[in-house]
Structure 1
Amino acid sequence: MVRSLADTPEKTPAPAGNRWSDLNARTWTGLCMVAVGIVGIRLGGVWFQMLVVFVTAVMIWELARMIRPGWDVGSMLLAAFSASVISGLLSQAPDWHLLLLLVPAVAGSAVMPRERFTFFLFALGITIAGWGLVTARDSFGGTWLFWMVIVVVVTDVAGYFAGRHFGGPKFWPAISPKKTWSGTAAGWIGAGLVGALFLTFTDSGRDLIWISMLLSMASQAGDIMESALKRRLGVKDSSSLIPGHGGLFDRFDGLLGASLFMLLLALIVDVPRVNI
């Protein structure tokens, strides 16, 4: 069930001893998701494709339910339709068939009673990112995708711990009241260190450091956009599927932003390969 902000009582700031109260749930569920992701990326092929299609479909389901609460059957059918479209495109050559990525977003927005353009934009971003992840895995290999995912994870983890430990001024309190400038900057630094680490055992160039930091910013942008969406719709979490994390949309919003950024960057510049 999608939790509404209106149903959540106002809370006073948590005491310092409780600032890590959600760490245990976040840690274990986060480790499980990381393990599944590692296995999927390592196996590649149809296994990774099925994983990405599943995550994409669930995010479409969550998006539809946030905008149209109680539309459970319709949301599931829309998610299944989106999964079938993406699966079909992944077996086609990347030409005009990519226009079919518009179909789930258009179909879903047509049946939304409100926020039709909002659904269209987010649904299109989700389907493009899903298609792009599988395509990138096939084109550039698992190491490249591991780098991208690790940058997103380190950005999130460094931001979480630095923000909770150092606190300080809020980054954008009207949209994401928990985010601080200390956590945001820690994410950038952590991403740059990931890029520097990959230089030690891959044939990538030094551009990977600043690209990693830009990727971190794109990941944070994806997180902020999803936070803005939830505030606009008046919900706390995209769903309650994952203990301590909310829904898949809440956990993969950063990867969504990073994936779209890399797809855009690849159209503009020659993105360095990350190969061992």
Structure 2
Amino acid sequence: MKNSMSSHAVKSSRWADLGPRTASALVLLLVGGGASYLGGVAFALFVSLSVGAVFWEVTRMYRKDNSLAALGYGVAAAALVFLACFMPLIVAVPVLALPLLLGIRVLEQRKTSFLIILAWVLLGGFGLVWLRDAFWVSWTVWLICVVVATDVAGYFAGKYFGGPKFWPAVSPKKTWSGTAGGWVAAAGVGLIFSVFAGLPANLIWISVLVSMASQAGDIAESALKRRMDVKDSSQLIPGHGGVFDRFDGMLGAGALCFLIAVIWG
């Protein structure tokens, strides 16, 4: 009897975060999806505010405080990203470099890793807006669906199947079953969009690559949190932690797609 109750308690604790995690994910999906559908100012504002929040969270992790400097830096980054979204790419690049130049003065040490992380955040965030403007909403919805499917399938497959850990030193909760589940779900999204949305057939394997980039973003943020000895980037989103915790995969996917679009067209 005790063993049965203990087993039930373990299963319950395994899914304890499902409720708040699901509710927060639905709200974010509705807001982010709606902004993506509207495009223009709405999507640029949503992404810019998200980038600014991530700048605030990362700065707090590095500085180990809640100073106004971190908040001011986040606001400045959000404003500059928003402005860059309405400029030609050749002009937007130096504007996007300004937050990194400001970042040199924010920290007294460990500046290199700090600026590398923020450069990735800028690239991924701005890339999402640029892709929406350049390739219209169907491609953006596809990208969002790939990242969401990767996250959701990875969560359930990892919880249900368990098994060997993917990289226990960096992210102890992630398993190979969850990782592979994310790839399969992403391929399914690519298949659906190629059949029903008229997108290219090679979108299936591209979706898997984007899924991997999303997972790489998640792993990179996990490594940062472990290095900084924090559980979550902040507590802004119930069930998820901070904005960076929620959008790390989207930023990884956005950065990859932006680079592919710019380099290969």
* Structure-1-length-normalised TM-score: 0.90
Deviation larger for 101-110 or 206-215? 101-110
Question: Which amino acid letter does the alignment assign opposite residue 178 of structure 1?
Answer: K
Q: Is the 8 A contact 1:219 1:258 kept in 2?
A: yes
Q: Does 1:235 align with 2:234?
A: no
Aligned to 1:116: 111
CA contact (8 A) 2:50 2:243 kept: yes
Q: Counterpart of 1:9? A: none
- Is 1:15 the counterpart of 2:10 in the alignment? yes
Match of 2:27 among 32, 49, 55: 32
Q: What's 2:56 paired with? A: 61
Matched with 1:192 is 187
SS in 1 for 2:172: strand
* Cα pair 1:68 1:113 within 8 Å, conserved: no
How many residue pairs match? The answer is 257
* Mapped pair 1:89 → 2:87: no
CA displacement at 1:90 relative to structure 2: 1.9
**CA–CA distance in structure 2, aligned partners of residues 109 and 179 of structure 1:** 34
- After TM superposition, the structure 1 stretch with the greater mean CA deviation from structure 2, 243-252 or 75-84, is 75-84
Give the Å deviation of 1:99.
2.2
Alpha-carbon distance in 1 for matches of 2:80, 2:164: 44
SS state at 1:171 partner: strand
Q: Return closer, same or farther for 1:87/1:268 CA change in 2, 3 Å cut-off.
A: closer
What's the CA shift for 1:104?
0.7
d(CA) in 2 for partners of 1:23, 1:95: 44
User: Unpaired segments of 5 or more residues in structure 2?
Assistant: 1-8
Check 1:49–1:96 CA distance in 2 against 1; reply closer, same or farther (3 A cut).
Answer: closer
Q: 2:242 aligns with which of 230, 235, 247?
A: 247
Q: Percent of counterpart pairs with the same letter? A: 47
Distance in 1 between residues matched to 2:247 and 2:92, nearest whole Å: 26
Question: Which amino acid counterpart does residue 190 of structure 2 have in structure 1?
Answer: G
RMSD: 1.3
Equivalent residue for 1:168, pick from 154, 160, 163: 163
Map of 1:79 onto structure 2: 74
Q: Which has the higher helix share?
A: 2
- Counterpart amino acid of residue 115 in structure 1: R
Quick check: 1:206 aligned with 2:201?
yes
Which amino acid in the other structure matches residue 238 of structure 2? P
Counterpart of 1:17, as a letter, is S
Task: Look up the equivalent residue of 2:197 and give its one-letter code.
Answer: T
